[in-house]
Amino acid sequence: MNRQDTRGFSQLGLSQKTLDAVADLGYAEPTPVQTQTIPVVLQGRDVMAAAQTGTGKTAAFLLPILNEVGRVRRREGPLVLVITPTRELAQQIAEVAQAICVHTHHRIACVVGGVGYDPQREALRRGCDVLVATPGRLLDLLGQEACSLDQVEVLVLDEADRMLDMGFLPDVRRIVANVPNDRQTLLFSATLSNDVLAHTQALVHSPVRVEIAPKGTTAKTVTQYVLGVAAEAKKRVLVETLRREGSSRVIVFVRGKHRADHLCRILRKKGFSCASMHGDRTQSQRIRALAQFSSGEVGVLLATDVLSRGIDIPEVAYVVNLDVPHDAEDYIHRIGRTGRAGERGWALTLCSADEYDDLRRIERLTGKVIPAYPRADGLDVGEGAPALDPRRNPRDPLPGKRRRGKATAAQRARGGRSKRPNNTGGKG
């Protein structure tokens, strides 16, 4: 194995066994969030950290935790509890932890919804040092007295803003009530907005704040484009784009579970290999879809925003937003699925007339106008495709709440989105 030079990490205070894990993971220089967070976590301080997606937040907390935490006896634990909003994130964190534990010899358990209880109860009965969990399933197991959190020394709240958006805050508070007060708490989020701070400040004690990028910052490695398209022409434009730009390692984000499945069937009839990923898929189906996409067996992944946060899929060629997200922050996370780990990527957003205000909100958040797609010649964008003024100013006022409310009501009447669509997989 070609082991990486870990001298950058060795300056952060990690032990040799953890540095061996860093080398096996293939990490070279630490990212900014890792550089600023690891030494503070090693000191035992509480942390509230915000960083863009794809910047190494998982390793920023796992490396120092597993460097310091002890190991429990059989049938005890956990000493570390990591709470995260989705099954995929939980399993991804557990996989990274398992790789580190080859060297630190800790035991990991992962409990998520969508699968049977018995194997998870058995894993907890055997004992674990680190437990990674989604809120809903963990609460179920606590209610069944299959799990005790009395020994937790470190609590990690990952993707805190997403948990807030998904309505998990009451569940998180109920879980935290079962954890000792003298714990170390690490809170990681894409942003430390006023909303996040207001709802989570009581969970941490004199935290060190780490903010790598301000709210609305998009990855510099992702080139962004937008194309005005009539709503009824979007499927046709997507098919032609995949034929022109390539249909390997492409993620297409859509609004709604049924739309993802419907488009998947259409693309298969057109000869594309594809799979869908959304909250109504069983856990085994979601795992299989991710594995097929990661291995290259499937070229196109149709996904709702269940896939937009934190999931690390290497070498995604480009992202297509078939539907403009209503939440501007979701746009940043969607396009962050490409251009990761120093690679370059690009993203294309197809914007219909009734999505123009959503596009404007994205540009207002990022402070930049998304440039026009330069390879649109020959694409049939349909009648009524909006003409996007290249001179539009992202600082111009957005539509008032009354107008936005009417637009949202009209979209709902047409079967469109609501502000918080139920397409993110439920409560774990």
Share of the chain above pLDDT 90, in %: 63
Which of 211, 241, 259 marks a domain boundary?
211
In a domain, 420, yes or no: no
pLDDT digits (tens, 9 = 90+) for 294-349: 899 999 999 988 777 656 787 899 999 999 999 888 898 899 889 876 789 999 99
Q: Assess whether 237 and 328 both reside in one domain.
A: yes
Whether residues 254 and 203 fall in one domain:
no
Does residue 96 sit in the same domain as residue 201? Answer: yes
Does any domain span residue 423?
no
Residue 205 lies in a domain: yes
How do residues 115-139 score in pLDDT, each as one tens digit? Answer: 899 999 999 999 999 999 999 999 9
Q: Do 267 and 207 belong to one domain?
A: no
Higher-confidence residue of 284 and 423: namely 284
Structural domain contains residue 2: no
Condensed to tens digits (0 to 9), the pLDDT of residues 396-413 reads: 887 664 454 444 444 433
Domain match, 121 and 234 both: no
| Contacts of 421 by beta carbon, 8 Å cutoff, 6+ apart | 255, 256, 304, 305, 326
36 contact partners, CB below 8 Å, separation of at least 6: 49, 210, 212
What pLDDT does 261 receive? 94
Digit-coded pLDDT (tens) for 189-229: 877 777 788 888 889 999 999 988 666 677 788 999 999 99
43 is in which domain, residue-wise?
A: 7-211
* Mean of pLDDT values over 11-16: 95
Backbone angles phi, psi at 216, to 5 degrees: 90, 5
Query: Are 254 and 379 contacting, i.e. CB atoms less than 8 angstroms apart?
Result: no
Number of domains in the chain: 2
Domain endpoint, select from 211, 241, 275: 211
On whether residue 206 sits in a domain, the answer given is yes
Residue 124 lies in a domain: yes
The reply to whether 184 and 264 lie within a common domain is no
- Whether 60 and 144 share a structural domain: yes
Residues 126 and 42 in one domain: yes
| Residue at 241 is within a domain | yes
Both 108 and 200 in a single domain? yes
Same domain, 337 and 392: yes
Confidence category of residue 251, pLDDT binned at 50, 70, 90: very high
pLDDT tens digits, one per residue of 27-86? 888 989 999 999 999 999 999 998 766 678 999 999 999 999 999 998 898 999 999 998
Indicate whether 92 and 146 sit together in one domain: yes
Nearest one of 88, 426, 86, 414 to 259, comparing CA atoms:
414
Residues found in the chain: 428
Last residue of a domain, one of 153, 186, 211: 211
Which tokens belong to 101? 């534990």
Q: Is residue 424 part of a domain?
A: no
- Domain holding 406: CATH number? 3.40.50.300
Paired tokens of 168: 């998990």
* 190 and 44 within one domain: yes
